Amino acid sequence: AQSVTQLDSHVSVSEGTPVLLRCNYSSSYSPSLFWYVQHPNKGLQLLLKYTSAATLVKGINGFEAEFKKSETSFHLTKPSAHMSDAAEYFCVVSHPNQGGKLIFGQGTELSVKP
């Protein structure tokens, strides 16, 4: 069975400092992995995705994530946090031939202090 674990329910950083949101996955297959962000009263927006090409994936707004198969991890990073990054972040896994079903982690709320 596939699953996703986000290791922190809440992360707080100061503006201008690095962001690290941790995600581990469990999968019997070669997964596709995604990070989505949700700002208040908005839909889920794709930040980036890994689909078995380059292991270091760059996304929007300066975010990137590295797929590490040996560690079954897909952590999200950003060198310098901005106030507008405050939101809920979801790590997501999917597999082929499952009708496009996405499996979500429980989410990490990122707070950014001035």
Partner 1 sequence: EPEVTQTPSHQVTQMGQEVILRCVPISNHLYFYWYRQILGQKVEFLVSFYNNEISEKSEIFDDQFSVERPDGSNFTLKIRSTKLEDSAMYFCASSSRGREGQETQYFGPGTRLLVL
Distance CA 16, CA 8 (A): 20
Radius of gyration for the alpha carbons in the chain, expressed in angstroms and rounded: 14
- Secondary structure class of 62 (helix, strand, coil): helix
Q: Which is nearer to partner 1, 63 or 90 (CB)?
A: 90
With CB under 8 A as the contact rule, the residue among 11, 27, 75, 94 that binds partner 1 is 94
- Mask: binding to partner 1, 50-89, rule CB under 8 A, as x and -? -x--------------------------------------
Q: Looking at 11-19, 55-63, 78-86, 101-109, which segment touches partner 1 (CB under 8 A)?
A: 101-109
With CB under 8 A as the contact rule, the residue among 17, 20, 98, 113 that binds partner 1 is 98
Distance CA 65, CA 76 (A): 5
* Residues making contact with partner 1 (CB under 8 A): 32, 34, 36, 41-46, 49, 51, 90, 94-107
